[in-house]
Amino acid sequence: MAKLTMREATKLKNTRHVLGISGGKDSAALAIYIRDTYPEIHEKIEYFFTDTGAELEEVYDFLDKLEAYLGKKIERLTQERGFEHFLTMHNDYLPSPRQRWCTLMMKIKPFEAFVKDDPVVTYVGIRADENREGYVSQKPTIQAVFPFIEDGLVRDDIFQMLEDTVGIPDYYEWRSRSGCYFCFFQRQDEWLGLKRRHPELFEKAVKIEKESGQGYTWVQDRTLEQVIERAEEREKEDKVKCLKNKQASVRWQDKIRYDEDDDDPEDQACVICSL
């Protein structure tokens, strides 16, 4: 996939400009940045969100806020069939870091169907302080622009931009990334957060795990019941440590701002989900 500068992108004719909104901080901040800094590009851009049908309620709420700020519609791309259909297609093999078929079937394919074979420039929210490439399309008609890298914007810039405009997505209070409710990249405490805040979705994930067959689990070598048990134990241990060290309480917005777990280069093949 060819890379362009912002200046080169503005000169292109007969080319579609697209920006995928994942529901995460970086793509949202990029849309805001382009609206406020490059209005001529903002006028051309088609904003879209690939809806897997397994998103958190907080994501939809945030999309509504962002759409209002941008003053443009965020096109919702959907698959005709949901996760359960693709799970059956893959012989009940749950997606995992090694087999990320969910990203391919529920994110990448809808995106490529959306752009078709049109000449396209896609704007990617990878920052100047990251060491990853993100989703790289094999379609020769797609070129990419990385405005944050080009203009030197880093993590702190992104959070400040969000706080000054639409706010930080609410799910960051208990989760380090956007993505499906059953995302296998969730940490143990995030699975616990899902159980407490969206118990119906947690139970659905448990049901899928139990019915998947062949002993597959969302977390390697552990069932979700075991994950929750360990997460609750760690939570108690952390509370004791905080009491002993008399640590002051910190706003969740500030805590997530400096928690860089979501920037792990090992999960860059899912950047299209979580940017």
User: Taking 70 as the threshold, does the pLDDT of residue 183 lie above it?
Assistant: yes
pLDDT of residue 261: 56
Whether residue 252 is contained in a domain is answered as no
Say if residue 50 is in the same domain as residue 94: yes
The predicted-structure confidence for 121-148, as pLDDT tens digits, reads as follows 999 999 999 877 666 667 889 999 999 9
DSSP classification of residue 172: G
Q: Give one word for 71, left, alpha or beta, with left for phi > 0 and alpha for psi -120 to 50.
A: left
Domain that holds residue 227: 188-243
Span 21-75, pLDDT tens digits? 999 999 999 999 999 999 999 999 999 999 999 999 999 999 999 999 999 999 9
In tens, the pLDDT along 108-122 reads: 889 989 999 999 999
Q: Left (φ > 0), alpha (ψ -120 to 50) or beta: where does 175 sit?
A: beta
Contact 42, 147 (CB under 8 A): no
Q: Are 166 and 75 part of one and the same domain?
A: yes
Do 194 and 128 belong to one domain? Answer: no
CATH number assigned to the domain comprising residue 133: 3.40.50.620
Quick one: 125 exposed, middle or buried, by C-beta within 10 A (0-12, 13-18, 19+)? buried
The domain tally of the chain equals 2
- List, for residues 203-221, the tens digit of each pLDDT value: 999 999 998 866 789 998 8
List, in sequence order, every beta strand (DSSP E) within 36-107.
45-51, 74-78
Same domain, 203 and 85: no
Q: Could you give the CA distance from residue 262 to residue 265 in angstroms, rounded to a whole number? A: 9
| DSSP code per residue over 253-268 | HHHHHT--GGG-GGGG
Average pLDDT, the chain: 87
Compute the distance between CA of residue 103 and CA of residue 208 in angstroms, rounded to an integer. 18
**169 plus 211 within the same structural domain:** no
136 lies in some domain: yes
The answer to whether 23 touches 62, Cβ cutoff 8 Å, is yes
pLDDT surpasses 70 at 250 = no
pLDDT-derived band at 92 (thresholds 50, 70, 90) equals confident
**Would you place residue 267 in the very low, low, confident or very high pLDDT band (cuts 50, 70, 90)?**
very low
Mean pLDDT of 96-101: 87
**What's the pTM value of the predicted model, to 2 decimals?**
0.87
